Amino acid sequence: MSFKELSRITLAGISYPSEFSGRQYFYVPAGILSLASYVSKHGFKPEIIDFQLMNYENPYSPDSISDFLKSASSDIIGISVMTKDLPAVLIACGKFRELFPEKTIILGGPGPTGSAKHIMEKFPCVDFIIRGEGEITLLELLKALKDNEPLSEINGLVFRDRDKVVVNPARCRIENLDELPLPDYSLIDHRKYNIIYIPSTRGCRHFCTFCDQPALWQGREIRRSLKSLTDEIDYITKELKAKWEIAFSDNEFCADPERFEEFSRIYRENNYDFCFSMDRRVDSVDDTFLKEARKINCGLILYGVESGSEKVLREIKKGFKPDSIKPGLLASSRFMINSIASFMFSYPFETAEDFLETANLIYSMWNEKTMNFITFQIHYLSPLPRTPIFEKYKDRIVRRKVSNLMVTKRNEAQYDTIIDNDLKKAAVLPKKLDNDRDEDDPEVEKLIRENPEICSGFYIYNSPGLHVKENIIECLKILFREKVKTALFIKDDYRYLFNGRKIVAAGPADDKDVNGLYLKIDYQTLKNPQQFIEELKQTGKKQGLIEFAGHTLPENTTTGDMIFSLLESMRASGINPILLSPVKQCLFRFTVSLKMQSQFGMPSTAFKTYKLS
């Protein structure tokens, strides 16, 4: 290559067209614009190409991505890749390399960072991978290629030395983010975009075990100065006059109260009027913070709640307890136009009982009318390399066609959205998906199945009681759509009772994934309860959903006495009996009827019943 060619680089953003609730979103490729600005400052000439702006009939096809890469005018192409796009991009790079063997391909971004060595070993079409922050590493690589210098001293780089893959040490964090130039927005047509994520920090101070951020940032949050942040905002809103929605991309925007107070002061003094959204922790908000956030036009806060189970929250090192979730969300709903509570399930250590605590939290809050919207999201947990959970449970991942984020029109089709304008609630819940369901493209599916260590994001963990959890989600959808509070759901030998206060999941005695028993009791059992009770005690179950075979029961008070005695014996054995349908009043003497009602909540009418498909 000539010096001129080596002074040029094409930076390609690969993301699929995004659509949610009928609206298309075009995200400013801020990450590659930052890279472009940095290398441009040091004499290189970058161009930006953006896949989301293309109009392919099938944008998810590797052929479409390969065709898109042909628009690169440089011989060096840097591609920013998210985890969800990695399989298609790797295939596309192979196809592109066959057509243009002289081109140099560099991958970066969250997708390849966690599995860089595996990618380099299996995909010779990729020349380099940059791990972590890319600005300095990319610049040093471009200089080394231009000057034909060795690559071994470039931290953060993974490359191939003949047939050997070399993984250089990780690069130290960029300590002064203000030294980075602002993204070069002149490289894009700002009229083609409508939303931008702007970071005021890099990194995360928390160590959640499901997340790859701790491995990337080592638990450190490094801040830009608020002057640097507002300089960028001023350029976007006043000079560029871009009509973009602004979302702050920090894991926890202005986590310290003093920093938020300073940001709020600057917002007022500068007479800003832009609306924005942010992420926060649900245990870190109160009325004072929320009231001020609303005054300066924050309209939406997303909370990564993750679970309603104290055990799960402790296991993932979330750092708060379930009792902070509901107060935080209710407080947020008093001020924010929308508060999003995002949960995950299918943790490899999460039992059905653990998930019931999450479902019960959502169920209990749904019918509480709030001033503004609360949106509940539930996602399958995505296995990610370099996370403690993945290292411990990576032998328990299974291929499953799931979407963990609603970022594309295709992914949105894998969720069901229910909106209740009266209650000011919304739910975005995943569809129940079958095992062994293939991707649309056979090449992509083959790569995913042959490379689980690279494509782990296309798998889920084999989680205990997953069928029960998925059934409960289907029950919630029906409840929310039908606007009912109490109902009984039937699925094969399982029963799911929503009694207005909590959810009880019950199934066969030999299913260890549910904590409840579904029991259909006949007259013979009532006559000889001792063995029946002993068998129940052996199951270790705590709940019993009970139906009586009414047509076999003699209609006299002796039968009523036996029913009451059986229920008392069950409770004495540690099993809480719950009646699914009313029993005829003629079976009970008056005093026994009163005891039945007070002690066992004997229903006066049958629960509305639904059958799950």
pLDDT for 355-382, tens place per residue? 999 999 999 999 999 999 999 999 999 9
Q: Is the dihedral of CA 591, 592, 598, 603 positive or negative?
A: negative
Mean pLDDT of 526-533: 89
- Specify whether 496 is located in the same domain as 477: no
- Specify whether 84 is located in the same domain as 206: no
- pLDDT of residue 596 exceeding 60, the answer is yes
Please report which confidence band the pLDDT of residue 122 belongs to, taking 50, 70 and 90 as the band edges.
very high
Query: pLDDT tens, 127-167?
Result: 999 999 999 999 999 999 999 999 999 999 999 998 899 99
CA distances from 126 to 102, 118, 167, 168 (A): 12, 11, 14, 16
Q: Let me know if residue 450 belongs to a domain.
A: no
State the DSSP H helix or E strand holding residue 208, giving kind and residue range, or none if neither: none
pLDDT for 31: 94
Q: Is the dihedral of CA 76, 77, 80, 86 positive or negative?
A: negative
Residue 158 tokens, joined: 């993974």
What is the pTM for the complete model shown? Answer: 0.92
Tell me whether residue 567 is exposed, middle or buried, using C-beta atoms within 10 angstroms of its C-beta: 0 to 12, 13 to 18, 19 or more: buried
Residue the block writes with tokens 């000539």: 2
- Specify whether 163 is located in the same domain as 199: no
- Specify whether 252 is located in the same domain as 379: yes
- Specify whether 62 is located in the same domain as 117: yes
Please report which confidence band the pLDDT of residue 2 belongs to, taking 50, 70 and 90 as the band edges.
very low
Q: What is the 3-state secondary structure (H, E, C) of 274-305?
A: CCEEEEECHHHCCHHHHHHHHHCCEEEEEEEE
- Residues spanned by the domain of 87: 3-167
Mean pLDDT of 173-195: 95
- Specify whether 576 is located in the same domain as 512: yes
Q: Let me know if residue 142 belongs to a domain.
A: yes
Q: Let me know if residue 185 belongs to a domain.
A: no
- Specify whether 204 is located in the same domain as 150: no
CATH number, domain at 512?
3.30.750
SS3 485: coil
Query: pLDDT tens, 285-322?
Result: 999 999 999 999 999 999 999 999 999 999 999 999 99
- Specify whether 90 is located in the same domain as 110: yes
CA distances from 91 to 88, 115, 274, 359, 466 (A): 5, 16, 41, 39, 32
Query: pLDDT tens, 542-573?
Result: 899 998 876 678 889 999 999 999 999 999 99
Region class of 579: left (phi > 0), else alpha (psi between -120 and 50), else beta: beta
- Specify whether 490 is located in the same domain as 556: yes
pLDDT for 229: 97
Contact residues for 273 (Cβ-Cβ < 8 A; gap 6+): 297
